[in-house]
Amino acid sequence: MRSLDLLAIAASAEGIMLRRGAAGMARRAVLLGAAALCGLALAILLQAAAWLALEPGQGAVLATLWLAAANAVLVLVLLLAAQPRRDALAQQALQLRREALAEICQVSPLAEALRLLRPPGAALEIGAFLIALLRRR
């Protein structure tokens, strides 16, 4: 039964890890989508207003360069905010799964099943039976 228990632990840990990973991925996707839409609308409005404000004093080329630099900063901030975070529970579940699978490789399911079928002291009874059988011959 130890093998089955280890497999159950490994499956449970795998389930936790997958659920936590999927939840984090969904959260990141929603945040990235919202940031993209807001960023697009903001960039369009701010670029139009800023270009109109900068163009008379700076000229068209410098106004465009200033706007490009501002857009680069905005993109970097959004990319940094969307970085995946480390999930301690998912990491522990992954470690538990690895340990359970490593341990199950060391346990023989056949030997474990035979141990369940054989009552304690059965080896002595089998030995006594074999000795009695040999004495009869």
Q: Which two tokens stand for residue 10?
A: 């490994």
Does residue 39 form part of some domain? yes
What's the structural domain count of the chain?
1
**For residues 43 and 74, what is the distance between their CA atoms, to the nearest angstrom?**
9
| pLDDT average, residue stretch 11-33 | 87
With bands split at pLDDT 50, 70 and 90, how would you rate the model's confidence at 130?
A: confident
User: Mean pLDDT across the chain, nearest whole number?
Assistant: 81
Does residue 36 form part of some domain? yes
Quick check: 109 pLDDT over 80?
no
Does residue 22 form part of some domain? yes
**For residues 20 and 93, what is the distance between their CA atoms, to the nearest angstrom?**
10
Domain span at residue 36 reads: 2-106
Does residue 114 form part of some domain? no
**For residues 69 and 65, what is the distance between their CA atoms, to the nearest angstrom?**
6
pLDDT of amino acid 34: 94
pLDDT of amino acid 102: 79
Quick check: 27 pLDDT over 60?
yes
**For residues 118 and 10, what is the distance between their CA atoms, to the nearest angstrom?**
27
Question: pTM value?
Answer: 0.39
Does residue 137 form part of some domain? no
Does residue 134 form part of some domain? no
Quick check: 96 pLDDT over 70?
yes
Does residue 121 form part of some domain? no
Does residue 131 form part of some domain? no
